[in-house]
Amino acid sequence: MRTNHVLLLLLALSLFISCNSNNFEEHKIGDNLIDENSEVVLIDSLTIKSSTVIMDSLVTSGFKKSILGRYQDEFLGDVKTEFYGVLDFSGGFKKPTSSEGADINIEFDSLVFMAYPDTLYFGDTLQPQRIIINQLSEEIELPDNELAYYAHSKFDYNENPLLDTEFFLKPVKQSKYNQVIDNHGAEGEIDYSEKYYGKGIFIKMENADAIALGKEIVDSVNTESEIFNNVNQWHKFIKGLVIRPGDENTVMWQAPIGEGKLKLRLYYHETDYEDAGKQKFHDFQIVADGPDEQKSFTNYSSDRSSTPQGLDRLIKQEDELDSEQTDHLTFIQGGVGLYTKINIPYIENLKRLGIAGGVLKAELIMYPKNDSFDDELFPLPTADKFSRLTSLILYNTNEDNEFRSFIPGVNNTAIAFRVNDNLQNKDETFYSVDLTSYVNSVVVSGKEYEDAILIGIQREVVGNTYDRLIIEDDPDSDYRMKLKVTYVIQR
């Protein structure tokens, strides 16, 4: 044998052996022989102190939907909204002219409130719902140094309403919007004459003030008044509307703003020439965008005076109601701004287990209170159909209950609670969120004693939702709030 052959043989052998693939397999044999230096434990006994707080200054303007109505909640009391909005100028309302160019006068027929609600609602739709619309007597204007309107913002309105009537809310049916039908058919096609064949809410405003307003608008058109030439004049003239529920209403609902889905419609006819006597209309939509976008907002008021847990004790943001004072319940409520606050004071104690250790997983779990919700009337906060993620997120906070940063997940976006549905046993449906990196950072860097977490609806949307959640936190119950930490203890 030549030396070179031998070298080749050695190389070939080494390649042959190197190519075996057992690196990718899992080998189990011998696991009982090795003393593991570490132990993996599940700890769910960390103390969680929970309470309910109320947040000030929730922004409720700039959203693309209006929150309307009222609900009476077993736990949270009486919740009412007043929706404020201004009517869009949208190019004004020009006096019509004939084909020869002569001005045509028009005559007022009626003023109609139209809305196409969303399919979602909260409460009982079987009762008739009262709706009251008033014209504002003062212009909606931002206070100095403010950029938005809040849940507590309010403006004066005329005493006599434009509309005060009852109707039945049928959110699913009434949500069906078809532009052609909404416009009484396409031009030259079907003549709907005066009838409205759409499915949406269509209520004729027959109050004297509404008729007077309609006539005033028509007169302004006929006289070619400034108000239809100048946006500012228009807003000075009409100022805005407020849509209110009656005190016996039982449902809170929502209607999209813009796209012709929330508006006043003025019916009129021309008095001369070709189209004389033919029904025509002009829509005044609630403003959804542009410079007046922020002027559509919702005012929330909540009467908690007779709530079983005495939630009227929450007045200012600094107020804090320990769950022990509220029958071991905590509360989350959109619009009104209730948040659940938790403090987990002893996370750092994990470090005392073993010589070292580490967090493998930490999950915060909370159960909605039994019978505090049902699928039909009082659903749990909305969750994505597939991922089951909600808009319930967590914020770092302090003694004064201020919002600090949200608690981020892996990709630095806010982590949201997920609903874990239990279809067989709805009482066992629970919410969970992965707090691994939060717990790990507390273990690694520590935390101030008063550092706590606010749980509630994402700050950016809390002003535009009626979602609410009652959370069970009885320390003696299996359904208490739990932080389940999978922890590795190094021996």
- Of the two residues 222 and 441, which places its CB atom closer to other proteins in the complex? 441
Q: How far is the CB of 5 from other proteins (least distance, A)?
A: 9
Q: E strands along 116-270, which residues?
A: 121-123, 129-135, 163-167, 201-204, 241-245, 251-256, 262-270
Calpha distance 473→368 (Å, rounded): 9
- Of the two residues 316 and 491, which places its CB atom closer to other proteins in the complex? 491
What character string, x for contact with other proteins (CB under 8 A) and - otherwise, covers 420-459? ----------------xx--x--xx---------------
Segment interacting with other proteins (CB under 8 A) among 38-46, 205-213, 276-284, 458-466: 38-46
Q: Is 41 in the site for other proteins (CB under 8 A)?
A: yes
Q: Is 17 in the site for other proteins (CB under 8 A)?
A: yes
CB 75 within 8 A of CB 307: yes
Calpha distance 412→437 (Å, rounded): 11
Candidate list 42, 142, 172, 276; residue touching other proteins; CB under 8 A: 42
Calpha distance 124→77 (Å, rounded): 15
- Of the two residues 95 and 361, which places its CB atom closer to other proteins in the complex? 361
Candidate list 47, 305, 422, 490; residue touching other proteins; CB under 8 A: 490
Q: Is 413 in the site for other proteins (CB under 8 A)?
A: no
Q: How far is the CB of 74 from other proteins (least distance, A)?
A: 33
CB 37 within 8 A of CB 490: yes
Identify the three-state secondary structure at position 362.
strand
Candidate list 31, 159, 376, 448; residue touching other proteins; CB under 8 A: 31
Cα atoms in the 13 Å half-sphere on the side-chain side of 85: 31
Report CA 327 to chain centroid distance, whole Å: 27
Candidate list 208, 315, 410, 423; residue touching other proteins; CB under 8 A: 410
Instruction: Please identify which residue in the block is written with the tokens 């949200």.
Output: 406
Instruction: Please identify which residue in the block is written with the tokens 């609670």.
Output: 417
Runs of H (alpha helix) within 204-274: 208-222, 231-238
Calpha distance 207→1 (Å, rounded): 115
Segment interacting with other proteins (CB under 8 A) among 25-33, 176-184, 260-268, 302-310: 25-33
Q: Is 20 in the site for other proteins (CB under 8 A)?
A: yes
- Nearest partner of 260 among 287, 240, 279, judged by Cα: 287
Report CA 336 to chain centroid distance, whole Å: 11
Site for other proteins in 350-389 (CB under 8 A): 355-361
Count residues contacting other proteins (CB under 8 A)?
46
Report CA 2 to chain centroid distance, whole Å: 83
Segment interacting with other proteins (CB under 8 A) among 10-18, 114-122, 267-275, 365-373: 10-18
Tokens of 382: 């909305």
Chain contacts with other proteins (rule: CB under 8 A): 1-3, 6-7, 9-10, 13-14, 17-18, 20, 22, 26-34, 36-38, 40-42, 44, 355-361, 410, 436-437, 440, 443-444, 484, 486, 488, 490
